Structure 1
């Protein structure tokens, strides 16, 4: 399943994944799993601004 990410977002995820000793795919799966758990737990998104685009300053 292809996933299109900006170069900056991919780099940020890759760095974070390396810090957590995960592959980029593993990091994305971990983050999505945590978001789904949070949503199921209290019916809310992790952040109220989760759907707003954000800028990554790298």
Structure 2
């Protein structure tokens, strides 16, 4: 049994190109959550500072 355990390894599949649809959906989801928090006057859910051009803007 020990011999079989040594032969078991985690296999990782790496794509040559990322799934752009999922990446775009992920980025837009983060941007939407940050915008909703900013509009409602709440803290950024990701604890990121606002963009430079919004740092002085009021919501």
Task: Report the TM-score when normalising by structure 2.
Answer: 0.38
Query: Relative contact order (alpha carbons < 8 A, sep ≥ 6): 1 or 2 greater?
Result: 1
Q: Which is higher, the Rg of structure 1 or of structure 2?
A: 2
Task: Report the TM-score when normalising by structure 1.
Answer: 0.39
Structure showing the higher helix proportion among its residues: 1
